[in-house]
Amino acid sequence: MIAIIDYDIGNITAVVNMLQRLGLRCQVTASADAVEQAERIILPGNGAFDSCMQNLRASGLIPVLEQQVLQRRIPLLGICVGAQMLGQGSAEGVEPGLGWMDMQVHRFPVSPGLRIPHMGWNHVFPVRQHHSLVQDMTAEARFYFVHSYYMVPNDPADVLLQADYGLDFAAGVVRRNIAGVQFHPEKSHRFGKRLLNSFARWVP
CB 89 within 8 A of CB 97: yes
Longest dimension (CA), the chain: 50
Rg from Cα positions in the chain:
16
Residue 188, number of CB atoms within 10 A of its CB = 22
Alpha-carbon distance 157 to 151, whole Å?
Answer: 13
CB 95 within 8 A of CB 182: no
Q: Name the catalytic one among 80, 92, 118, 147.
A: 80
Does the annotation mark 186 as catalytic? yes
Torsions phi, psi of 164, nearest 5? -125, 130
Q: Name the catalytic one among 118, 131, 147, 184.
A: 184
Does the annotation mark 106 as catalytic? no
- Among residues 151, 161, 148, 152, the alpha carbon closest in space to that of 111 is found at 148
Burial of 32 (0-12, 13-18, 19+ CB in 10 A): middle
Q: Enumerate residues 6+ apart whose C-beta is below 8 A from 166.
A: 108, 109, 111, 114
The residues that are catalytic are: 80, 184, 186
